[in-house]
């Protein structure tokens, strides 16, 4: 029983990181219906961006984050216009192959630029922690959780309260009606895709001081991310947030209470994914996907 407070803290902090990892994926799929297999590489580039500004200019990753997010958003919009837009009406498999290919190109680019050596950013707060009785809270993870909360709330605010956000929701919910209302589809698609990349970059910035940065880190993030958005419901941002916390609690509980449980974390993710696909294919709050 005395493990429960620590379990709750660990699961909440992990859930925050998972949320940040997947809301970008959920946004881009919800609006454009393109499953972005290069999203993990956006995270990877964000992490390397933070590493580079920290090492080269001594700039704290959290200070650099807004600039890196803007750069990621612009890069995402350009990528959408150049590579994704031409295949919007193509079969899903073509889109998957395209984004997968983009991911491979970005991985190799990172290999050339930063080498395959594992890197990490170590600002002072990365190694801070607080103790409340028997409960230990990592400062870096708490910061990650806080940033995830702020960004998720900002995204919801943008979607609900701004003209662009409402247009984005209209496109996601009723594409044809939105077009008839005069919404510039390509512009909104590019913006949603750019924002999803920016959120991936923010995730990378947080991960840069929590763990190791490598050119291949994106793949593992992507796999976990897909499990979460399927669990929450493809295309639903609220579902993605719920899925992130559900999975974080399930994994952490297994880690604590099952012998060798940390080794089972990924199995928990995929068992959950399997059960959701069999019992409730739309996920917790999912939309039906036609094809």
Partner 1 sequence: MHRLSSGGILPILALATTLAATPALAQESIKIGVPMELSGRFVAYGASGKRGVEFATEVYGGKVAGKKIELLVRDIQSESQATISVFNELVSKEKVNYIIGPIGSPTVAAAIPAWRQGKPIWLVPGSSSTKLEEEVGGDPEFFHTFPYAYNYHESIAAALKNQLPAGQKVAMIYTDDNYGRTHQPYAKKYLTDAGFEVVLEEIVRTNAADMNPLLTKIARVKPDVLLGLVQTTDAVTLAKQIYTRKLPVPYLIGTAATQLDEWQKAVGTAQEGWVGVTTYLPGLNRPGNQEFPKLFPPSSEWEAMFVKKYGQEPDFEDAGCYVSAMLLFLAIERAGGDDKEKVAAELRKMDIPNTLLGRAKFVSTPSGTKQQAFTDMVVFQRENGKNVMLFPPGPETKKIKAVTY
**Residue 288 neighbours by CB under 8 Å, 6+ apart:** 282
Q: Give the single-character DSSP code of 82.
A: I
Residues between 5 and 34 that touch partner 1 (CB under 8 A): 6-7, 10, 14, 17
Rounded to whole angstroms, the Cα distance separating 241 from 232 reads 7
How far apart, in whole angstroms, are the C-alpha atoms of residue 52 and residue 204? Answer: 12
Interatomic CA distance for residues 31 and 23, integer angstroms: 12
Task: Identify which range of 73-81, 133-141, 187-195, 227-235 contacts partner 1 by CB under 8 A.
Answer: 133-141
Question: Would you state the torsion angle of the CA atoms of residues 235, 146, 214, 97, taken in this order, to the nearest 10 degrees?
Answer: 10
C-alpha to C-alpha distance for 30 and 187, rounded to whole angstroms: 15
Q: Among all chains, which residue has been given the structure tokens 């699961």?
A: 11
Q: How many CB atoms lie within 10 A of CB 75?
A: 16
Q: Whole-number minimum distance, CB 289 to partner 1, in Å?
A: 28
If residue 236 lies in a helix (H) or strand (E), which one and from where to where? none
We find the least distance from the C-beta atom of residue 149 to partner 1, in angstroms, to be 18
Q: Out of 86, 91, 101, 116, name the contact with partner 1 by CB under 8 A.
A: 116
Based on CB atoms, which residue is closest to partner 1, 4 or 177?
4
Nearer to partner 1, 31 or 121 (CB): 121
Question: Which of 57, 82, 93, 117 contacts partner 1 by CB under 8 A?
Answer: 117
Q: Could you say which residues in the range 207-266 bind partner 1, by CB under 8 A?
A: 207, 210-212, 214, 216-217, 220, 251-252, 255-256, 260-266
Q: Which residue's CB is nearer to partner 1, number 94 or number 108? A: 108
Structure tokens at 111: 């290999």
DSSP H or E run through 19: helix 4-32
| Site for partner 1 contains 126 (CB under 8 A) | yes
- For residue 257, the minimal CB distance to partner 1 (Å) is 9
- 8 A C-beta contact, residue 16 and residue 144: yes
**Residue 95 or 203 with smaller CB distance to partner 1:** 203
Using the rule CB under 8 A, which residue among 12, 62, 114, 139 binds partner 1? 139
4 binds partner 1 (CB under 8 A): no
Under the binding rule (CB under 8 A), the answer on residue 104 touching partner 1 is no
Q: Which residues contact partner 1 (rule: CB under 8 A)? A: 3, 6-7, 10, 14, 17, 111, 115-120, 122, 126-129, 136, 138-140, 207, 210-212, 214, 216-217, 220, 251-252, 255-256, 260-266
């Amino acid at each position: 029983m005395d493990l429960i407070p620590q379990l709750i803290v660990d699961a909440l902090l992990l859930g925050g990181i998972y949320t940040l990892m997947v809301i970008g994926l959920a946004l881009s799929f919800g609006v454009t219906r393109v499953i972005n297999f290069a999203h993990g590489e956006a995270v990877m580039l964000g992490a390397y961006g933070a590493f580079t500004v920290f090492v080269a200019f001594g700039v704290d990753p959290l200070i650099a984050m807004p600039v890196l997010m803007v750069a990621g958003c612009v890069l995402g919009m350009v990528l959408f216009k150049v590579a994704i837009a031409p295949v919007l009406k193509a079969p899903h498999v073509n889109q998957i192959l395209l984004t997968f290919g983009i991911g491979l190109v970005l991985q190799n680019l990172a290999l050339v630029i930063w080498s395959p050596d594992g890197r990490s950013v170590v600002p002072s707060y990365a190694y801070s922690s607080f103790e409340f009785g028997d409960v230990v809270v990592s400062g870096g993870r708490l910061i990650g959780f806080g940033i995830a909360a702020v960004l998720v709330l900002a995204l919801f605010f943008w979607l609900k309260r701004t003209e662009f956000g409402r247009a984005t929701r209209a496109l996601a919910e009723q594409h044809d009606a939105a077009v008839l209302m005069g919404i510039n589809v390509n512009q909104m698609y590019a913006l949603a895709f750019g924002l999803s990349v920016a959120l991936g970059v923010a995730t990378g910035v947080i991960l840069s001081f929590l763990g190791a940065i490598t050119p291949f880190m994106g793949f593992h993030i992507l796999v976990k991310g897909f499990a979460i958005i399927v669990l929450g419901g493809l295309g639903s941002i609220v579902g993605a947030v719920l899925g992130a916390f559900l999975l974080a609690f399930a994994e952490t509980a297994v880690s604590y209470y099952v012998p060798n449980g940390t080794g089972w974390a990924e199995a928990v993710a995929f068992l959950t994914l399997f059960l959701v696909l069999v019992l409730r294919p739309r996920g917790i709050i999912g939309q039906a996907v036609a094809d």
